[in-house]
Structure 1
Amino acid sequence: MSATELTVDGVTLTAGARHLVRNVSLHARPGEVIGLVGPNGSGKSSLLRAVYRVLRPDAGQVRIDGTDAWSLPVRRLARTLAAVVQEPTAGFDLTVREVVAMGRTPHKGLLAGDTAEDDRLIESALAAVDAALLADRSFDRLSGGERQRVLIARALAQQPSLLVLDEPTNHLDIRHQLEVLGILRQLPATVLVALHDLNLAAYYCDRLHVLCDGEVIVSGPPAEVLTVELLREVYGVAGEVVIHPRTGAPHITFLPDATDRPVPAATDHSVP
């Protein structure tokens, strides 16, 4: 399956009188990795929920290959889009392999068992996230990081042409963060991902959309978006931004406010 084109056109989401997202537009060309960044509460998760069809927009439209996402039959949507979300996932009385096998459900008949191809895809997905040795473990007994890797494997087994992920590197150690994001870059799919780590977003994303108070305030390639001014105005922190000599991507060093540092106690060096 080829990668999907995603268009978010003027989407607004409200909760009572409060705007979660206001008039947000973005476009992901087939095969691109598009990053959503911004402070906590900026609207990233809400926007993703509109894309994977949990929150219906109050205004605007989400289109998948030009078709309104909310008009797609559930089965067709499930064959096209996979989501890895932040909601609690406890309560699966299943093995890891059974959880990953759930990703194959949209591609099978109601009572059909796993085929040899299903088995191959499940094993491949587990290996991709370094979870093959967890296959027979109970999902509920895994650590947070292990669960996250298994849920990503389930999405990979689904073979989507559009993959939506909300903070997929949460709970992962550095090695697995890099491995997971490296996998996303290599998939024959379009990827929309919310990330907190700006350095990871700068390296792995083709373009970034910065959300603040439910609105996109700047969009573009990471080198154009991630500036000292943005760090100060959106995140309220000081930092330096340089182009890393080996990766060619922007690299941010955050600078603590010198006024926040404790004043060293005075030391009396006089000779008694």
Structure 2
Amino acid sequence: MEQISKFTYSDIKGELFRLKSKEMKTNFFMAENQFDQLLLENKIQLFKTEKACFLLADDDGFKRLYFIASAVEEIQSFFNNHLSEFDGDISIETAGNSGYLESIKDAFLQSGFYEYSSMVRMSKIRNNVEEINFENIHLLTVDKKEEFQMLYKKYFDKFVERIPTVEEIDGFIQEEKAYYFSDNDEIQGFIVFEYHGITSHLRYWFVHPDYREKKIGSKLIQLFFNIGEKVKRELFWVIESNKNAIKRYKHFGFIEEDMHNLILINKNKKYEEPNY
């Protein structure tokens, strides 16, 4: 195992090519701008072997582990030989269909990790759009950034919901990806979604607990359902244990896909469903 002191995003893409095989396992799908920000702040480490590549990235009081491995056994070896004595929290997030994730999950569990939560992807084809009522709905602006970020810190789970960085929130504002509802001076709810070609991806959808009786959620979700001239497909991820939410989305025409997002950590902690 060799720790590499100098590396770039292109080097990691090169590792994906070098280790490519039918048995390769990876959870590295990080955007280049996110990677470069971590590198700039000296918050990411790279480790390499002949058959694998691992990255440890600092997050909100814990580390995220990314891997590119020619076989699942390489992941187990790295856990057992290099992470077994680490006292802090390590989170691993990996996505794929049920068959792809089975061996990876087993390797994690056998190496002292615990399943913290999992999500399932839901999607539907957009067939028509309706007129949007924008009353009390506003684009997120710089003057609301601090309040917006504090809501994430207070109400979102840092392991599951990937609390955005200041730089990401700046991107939401610049690219007009985030909207909030307010009929006073407070953010009472917000929604963030982005486009990938003809697909609209719902990132965050939140209603403040103090305002849950105002039907803010339905007022915000209409934006996701109707904005985007080129959008043909809508998708988002739902906590698999939240059966009520899954049932509700199916009522709106969404279907569950065999695509899952598995979150494991090296401590026996339990995910608590958010109360919002």
Between structure 1 and structure 2, the one with the greater Rg is: 1
Q: If the length of structure 2 is used for normalisation, what is the TM-score?
A: 0.28
Q: If the length of structure 1 is used for normalisation, what is the TM-score?
A: 0.28
Q: Normalized per residue, which structure has more strand?
A: 2
